[in-house]
Each structure stands twice: as structure tokens, then as C-alpha cells.
Structure 1
Amino acid sequence: MEFDALMLSRIQFAFTIAFHIIFPAFTIGLASWLAALEFNWLRTGNPLYRTLFRFWVKVFAVSFGLGVVSGIVMSYQFGTNWSRFSEFTGNVLGPVIAYEVITAFFLEAAFLGIMLFGWERVGDRLHFFATCMVALGTLISAFWILSANSWMQTPDGFAIENGKAVPVDWFKVVFNPSFPLRYAHMVMGCYLTTAFAVAGMSAWMLLRHPHDAPAAKLAGSRRSLSMALWFATIFVPIQIVIGDLHGLGVLKYQPTKLAAIEGNWDRMANMPLRLFAIPDEVAETNHYEIGIPKIGSWVLTHAFHGVVPGLKEVPRDERPPVWPVFFSFRIMVGIGFAMLGLGLWSLYLRWKGTLFSNRPFLTAAMIMTPSGFGAVLFGWFTAEIGRQPWVVYGHLRTADAVSPIAPGAVTASLLTFIVVYAFVFGFGSYYLAKLLRRGPDPIEDIRGDDLDKKPKRPFSLPDEGLEGRSRHRAQPAE
């Protein structure tokens, strides 16, 4: 392997985006989680939801800040390391990225301060509106970023003039063939990332205390764990279905990527479902293959005799690296089924009434804390490495997109990023660990099962004795 400017630039971009994607994957889901907590507080008047909001909003603030810092770095690389890519795609992707800034960033900037610091300065419903706008802003940001990335995977709505991509149909550019399912798959992945992070952190807090500890001490962790697991149990199967539909799109629009994902060298019907193999790119075969006959064709084409393309159908220089694509996909799928298993286990424990006291389950939930991050990362590895050798699929090779830059300059910037990221993200992770170790504040006026016995009053005002009582006390009728 030659570490020239191309390889070093790819390593640098992979390094920065791998760090960056962790934080949006968390904050997109966490913003909606905060909106759900605040909605429940307004709906029930239960002080537990407000306390949970105040705890998780601190985690959101730190994660959001780290995501912004790491994201800015990536945009600079388009000009420094990938100037030829910018020159080719600028007329198409430039406006798409600008739309993200104009819509998502402005929306988040307008309401983030209110969400973080304004609860004592504005009304409760206005604060809830601000929280919803921040959550909406994260989804809009994901919309434009996934649209741009999907266009690179399945480009549409453009023409090439004077060696540059020029938009001819903006609707086809934005809603390119792979975008709808990729967007749904990514957003659902972000929500599940947050669900398992919240569940795992809550399980860890419960494991730190005996199950018969005072209700005020465990109330927040129990409620967070229960809500997160309900979401995961319901939506993991939906994510699996979305992933299956997305796979049909990959078969249609990126057959070579699919062949690499499956380690399939020859075009065939009745393809086995390969659970494990060691692909040999030199000999164009697999070693130590373990598979289920015919099931692969049914999974990929929804027909037992469906034909699956092979890598040998394209020249070697148009194939992606098979090893990382093959194994990244299987790790992602394995994590997904582990999530499904944990969700089904939680249903059984709810039925038994031991969800909060079963220590093996709580330990498993704690171990699954980073599972969503892992699934997102390995999913991105599959998608991005599987696109190679193209940066714009079928139109611009990665080797033709790199800047004419000296390897020494890329090496210096890469080492600088490693040092700076280690410091910034090390400090951020340390602060997050301190927040999580402390956990939500106890709710002193909660007794046992009273959490579930509070009356439900749609968008009620806080109960007597809660913060803000003096601001919201009803005036006597005259």
C-alpha cells in the first residue's frame, strides 16, 4: 500500500468523518428525546419528566458542540484535499449544502439558546416550541446531508458540461433514487442510537444502586430505561424492514457494491446466504465459507431463484475493496439483531415484572450502550467503501477527485488532527462521563409507584410546589 496524497487524504477524511458522525447520530435522536420528555411534562405535570429533561439537555449541549466543531473541519477538506471533487460537483452539491445552512443551522441557532437557557425566561409552551424547532432542525440538517451523499451514490438530475456537473432538474438532484430510503434508514439509525445509549446509561445507573433503593433515587433511571426500550422494541423491526428495502435499491443501482457486500464473485441464481467467509481478491474466491443454500437470493431479490450479480462482471479496477465491505456489513447486521434480541428480552421481563431488577439484563443493556454508534459507523463504512473506486458513482473516480497536494502536507495535517481531536474529544468525553456518573437529580416528592398514578391532564400547568408555580398560578374568578 502506497501512502501517497490520495491514500493519506482518504485516511484523513475517514478519520474526521468517523469522529463527526458519532455526534449527529446521537444528537438527532437526543433532540427528539428531549421534545418527548418535555411534552410528557406538559401533558402530565409529572416533575420527573422535567428533571430528566434538565439532565439530558446537558448531555445534548456537549454532544451538539462537539458535533459542530468536528463538522466544520470536514467542509474545509473539500477545498484543501478534494479540490477537483469540488470543481466537478460544486454546481450541484454547493447549493444543497447551502440549503442546510440556510434552513437547519439558522433554525437551530435561533432556538438552541432558548432550549438550553430560556426555561426560566419564557413560558413553558414557548420553551417546548423551541425544543421542537431544534429537533426539527436536526432532521432538516440530516435531510440535506443525506441528499448530497445519496446523490454521490446514485447521481441524477444533472448533465456534464465542460467537465463539470450541472443541475438540470433540482427535484431529481435532491430526491435522487437512493435518497428516500437512505434518509429513513439513517434517521431511524440515529433514533435507535439514542435509544440504546439512553437505555444503557440508565441501566448502568440502576446497577450502581440496589433495586430496593429509595424511589426518588431510581425514578429517573427507571423511566428513561423503560421509554428507551419501548422505542427500541417497536422500531428495531421497522429498521430491519427499511434496511431490506434499501438493499433492493443497492441491487438495482449499485450492483457491484452489492456483490462486494455478499462476497459474490460469479453471477448466480440460488445464491446462498453467506454468514461467514474470507474473501480472496487475488484468487477471486472465498475461503472457509459458511452459508445457507438459496436463502441469499431470496433475501436480496425476494425470489428464491433471483439472480445476484458477481464481482467478475466488472474489471478489477472498478471493484471496491471486498474485505472491509463484506465484514462491515455483517457487523452492522449482527448489531441490529442483537438490538432486536434485547428488545424481545425486555418484553419478557416486563411481563415477569423484573425489568428493573434483572441484573443480567441490565448488564446486557449497559454493554449495548455503544451499539447504535457501532451500527452507524459500520453502515457508513459499507456504503462509502462499497462505492469505490468512485466518489460520484460512475462519473468521477476518487483518484481523479484529490487535490494536487504534497503527501507531506497531508501527513502534517493528519497528525495535527489526531492530536487536536485527542485533546478536544478527550476533554468532552471526560465531561460527559462526569455528567452521566452523577445522573438525574432525585425527585424528593415521588413515592414508589406514584409516578404512574398521577392524573393525566393534557398540557396542564405544573402542580403546586413545582418550579414556576408563581408564574402560572391561576387567577381567582371575579
Structure 2
Amino acid sequence: MEIFDAFHLARLQFAFTVSFHIIFPAISIGMASFLAVLEWRWLLTGDVAYKDMFLFWSKIFAVGFGMGVVSGVVMAYEFGTNWSGFSRVAGNITGPLLTYEVLTAFFLEAGFLGVMLFGWQRVSPRAHFFATLMVAVGTLISTFWILASNSFMQTPQGFAIENGRIVPVDWMKVIFNPSFPFRLAHMTIAAFIVAGFIVAACGAWHLLQGRRDKPVKRSFSMALWILLFLTPIQIFVGDAHGLNTREYQPAKIAAIEGLWETEKGGTALNLVGLPDMSAEVTRYAIQIPHLGSLILTHSWDGEIRGLKEFPPEDRPYSPIVFWTFRVMAGLGMLMLLTALLGLLLRLRGRLYETRWYQGFVLCMGPSGIVALLAGWITTEVGRQPWTVYGVLRTADSVSPVSSQQVGVSLLIFVLVYFLVFGMGFYYMMKMMKRGPEEHVERRESRRHPVLRNRPLDALEGE
């Protein structure tokens, strides 16, 4: 079967590894900034509850950061083993961008991470806060360079083709390509939302268990404020991103909408349906007239190009991106509902006593991760059949390897990833089940005068 050839197996392997990897940087990016806010509030108010929250969530951050580093290294090797064609043609662009990420971001994070986790008794409070800020800034710089590289693959500019290779002509255009600002904002906010729902779900769990101490209530409250602020902004940024995608990647938009014909005088929106690539039709579609034009062009009669205007070999696989986009958008609406309900209950003074709402927030805990993965799949599958959009095809990027080689390594990855990262997830969940403790500093200082803040300390006594 074609699906089991080296090309498709290599795509499946990279999709599998990047899907695991992207979860952990998203947690790290959002959690690092949350930690900076907590420590800033502790220094400003002297309220020890903020420090208790910091000590607890820094353990979650440490585990996520470690797993993100490990899973990211694997993908770097895959560029050489499975995608040597891409590395050979586009390496003059992607190589320096990823190097900048290591030099400016990873070294910054790694350099200050130890101080942030273990430096409470070794440096002054202000020096410790500076280290926390540097870790948070490092995660954002890392996001900048990774998104610059990925955005170049989506909307390349500032380059020339010499001897069959992509070479930079204008680095400012390479980095600040047309889709980069939208992707950077969309991904960064998504990471904050991922962390926000994790913190809110943890708080909801402990509220349901009857806890009403400051660290629990404040974690729950702060996370909901973050979500109330960021969710509407994310919807606005997503809309702007869609307009940009329609301009520079019109085939992706047509595939996302399951749109085959270019409709004159206004485009309907397919709410649901089953795109059929061979028959070139979206079956069982439920449509709302003109809504597609209103959303994607901001006009009543705006025109959106259908997939039939593109050669069959240049069309993204609509059945996947059609539904992953709707999963992302649907969860986005539920996130907004979650935040608005929280505001309503807060105004009524019922935020910490409404059990059905706390159960709802608990169920929404994984929604940020699911929406992130759905959006990432939409972005990457929608770029196909190109590795570098309009320049380098994915079929020309794969290494000359056999299906057996790729298949065996994929099987090993699946087994190892589920074992290693499954244990990591289990560990994080176990820590969150225990939750933050009040005045943990005074108790632990008697037991561990030096080695506090180790992730394993969170499970001591269980």
C-alpha cells in the first residue's frame, strides 16, 4: 500500500514526534510567564501564598521543560535521517534560524533555570526574580525563532535559488515574512491559554475536593482572569491570521472550508460535511449562505477561490484540515464561554462554590492542548504538498531511505515516546493531584535546608 512507503512513513514519523514535542514547549512558554507574574506579586505584596504557588508550579514547569528539550532533539536528527532533501535545499535558511534559537534562547533559559529552581537560599529575592524573568524571556525568544523558521516555510520571501538551493538575500524579509507576525501572536497566546487551562483545571479539581485555601483559590481565579483576557484576543488574532492565509495560501483556505467551486456573489460556509477528494465535492454539507464571505473577506459578497482552481497535485488534503480546523474553532468558542461564565459567577460571588462550573472547567483542562494540536495539524497539513510553500515539494524533501528503515524507527519512537512521555504526563498529573501547599517554605526548610524545589519533593510522603 502507498501509505506504507518511505515517504508517507517519514511524514507520519515527523507528525508523531512533533505532536508530542509541541505540547511541552507550549506548557513551558505559558507557565514561565505565569511564574514570573507570581514572583512579581510575591515581591510586591509579601503575600506568601504567591510564593507557595510559585514553588508548586515551578515543579510542573521543570518537568515540561525537560521533556520539551528531549523531544526537540529527536526532531533535529530527523531532518538529517528522513528529510535530507529539505536540509540540502533549505538548510541555508532553516539552519541559521534554528542556531539563533539555541544561541539566544536555549542558552538563556538553561543558564538561569538552575537559579530559578534551586536558588532561593543562594541569591537575593531580586536576583532570583531576574532569573525567573530571563527564563520567561528565553521561552519567548525561542518562540520567535522557531516561528520565524516555520513561517518562512509557509510564506517564503527574501531568498533566491542558486544551484538548486534556497539562499538568503534579505534576512529581514526572511524572518519577518508575511505570515510571521500572525503566527507568532497566535502561537504565543495559544501557549498562555494552554497553561491557563491547566492551572484552572488543577484549581477546579481541588475546589471540588473541598479545599478553600489561598493557593488553590488564587490559582483558579488568576487562571480565569488570564483566559478572560486572552481568549477574545486569540479569536481576533485568529481572524487576522485567516485573512493573511487567504491572501498567501488560498488553497489551504479552500481545503479548510471544503470549498470546491468559486462562488460568485458571496460564499456559503460549510458548518459540517465530508470532503471527498476524488469526487471533488463536500458531501452532506450543512451551509449558511454568505457566512464564508463575511468571515474570510469581511464582506457580504467576497469571493473565495475553490479547490478546483488549483491543480489536483497542488491541493491540500481537505478531509483532515476541514475537521481539525473545526475542532480548534469549536474549542475556542467553548473557551470563551468558560471565561465568560467564570466572570458571571465571580460577579455573583459564586465562583468558588459552583460545583457544576468547577466540573466544567476540569473537563476543559485538556482543551488548550487539543486545540493547539488541531491548529498545528491544520497549519502543517494545509501547507501540503509543499515543504517550502510554492518552492520545494515534500516529495522532493525526503531522504533516500527504505520503508523498512523508517517503519522500524517509527515503531521504536511510538514505544519509547508512550513509555517515557507517558510517565512524564503521569508524574505531572500526580503532582497536580496533590496541589500547592500553604506555607510550604517553612515546613520544607526544616526537612531540606538546601535541596528544596526538586520536582520529586512534590510527591514525598505519598
TM-score norm. by structure 1 comes to 0.91
Is residue 420 of structure 1 aligned with residue 416 of structure 2?
yes
Partner in structure 1 of residue 16 of structure 2: 15
1:110 Cα deviation after fit: 1.1
Q: State the SS of the aligned residue for 1:258.
A: helix
Structure 2 contact 185–237 (Cα < 8 Å) conserved: yes
Partner in structure 2 of residue 449 of structure 1: none
1:387 Cα deviation after fit: 0.5
Out of 260, 267, 270, the residue aligned to residue 255 of structure 2 is 260
Q: State the SS of the aligned residue for 2:361.
A: helix
Partner in structure 2 of residue 230 of structure 1: 225
Output the CA distance in 2 between the equivalents of 1:398 and 1:101: 26
Partner in structure 1 of residue 361 of structure 2: 365
1:16-49 superposed Cα distances (whole Å, 9 cap, x missing partner)? 0000001011110000000000000000000000
Q: What pairs with 1:341-420 in structure 2 (closer than 5 Å)? A: 341-420=337-416
Output the CA distance in 2 between the equivalents of 1:235 and 1:312: 37
Letter of the structure 2 residue corresponding to residue 412 of structure 1:
V
Partner in structure 2 of residue 119 of structure 1: 120
Out of 318, 342, 365, the residue aligned to residue 314 of structure 2 is 318
Letter of the structure 2 residue corresponding to residue 63 of structure 1:
G
Partner in structure 1 of residue 92 of structure 2: 91
1:326-350 superposed Cα distances (whole Å, 9 cap, x missing partner)? 0000000000000000111001101
1:190-216 superposed Cα distances (whole Å, 9 cap, x missing partner)? 00111111101110111112xxx5x5x
Partner in structure 1 of residue 453 of structure 2: none
TM-score norm. by structure 2 comes to 0.94
Q: State the SS of the aligned residue for 1:159.
A: strand
Q: State the SS of the aligned residue for 1:307.
A: coil
Structure 1 contact 47–466 (Cα < 8 Å) conserved: no
Partner in structure 2 of residue 132 of structure 1: 133
Structure 1 contact 201–366 (Cα < 8 Å) conserved: yes
Between stretches 177-186 and 424-433, larger displacement belongs to: 424-433
Partner in structure 2 of residue 165 of structure 1: 166
Is residue 288 of structure 1 aligned with residue 289 of structure 2?
no
Output the CA distance in 1 between the equivalents of 2:325 and 2:429: 30
Question: What is the percent sequence identity of the aligned residues?
Answer: 55
Distance 1:466 1:20, change over 3 A: closer
Structure 1 unaligned regions, length at least 5: 445-461, 469-478
Distance 1:47 1:318, change over 3 A: same
Structure 2 contact 273–284 (Cα < 8 Å) conserved: yes
Out of 299, 302, 307, the residue aligned to residue 298 of structure 2 is 302
Structure 2 contact 202–433 (Cα < 8 Å) conserved: no
Partner in structure 2 of residue 204 of structure 1: 205
Output the CA distance in 2 between the equivalents of 1:344 and 1:291: 28
1:430 Cα deviation after fit: 2.1
Partner in structure 1 of residue 460 of structure 2: none
Q: What pairs with 1:267-282 in structure 2 (closer than 5 Å)? A: 267-269=262-264, 270-282=266-278
Out of 432, 437, 441, the residue aligned to residue 433 of structure 2 is 437
1:428 Cα deviation after fit: 1.1
1:442 Cα deviation after fit: 2.7
Partner in structure 2 of residue 52 of structure 1: 53
1:74-133 superposed Cα distances (whole Å, 9 cap, x missing partner)? 000000000000000011111111000110011011101000100111000100000000
Q: Report how many aligned residue pairs link the two structures.
A: 444
Structure 2 contact 314–384 (Cα < 8 Å) conserved: yes
RMSD: 1.6
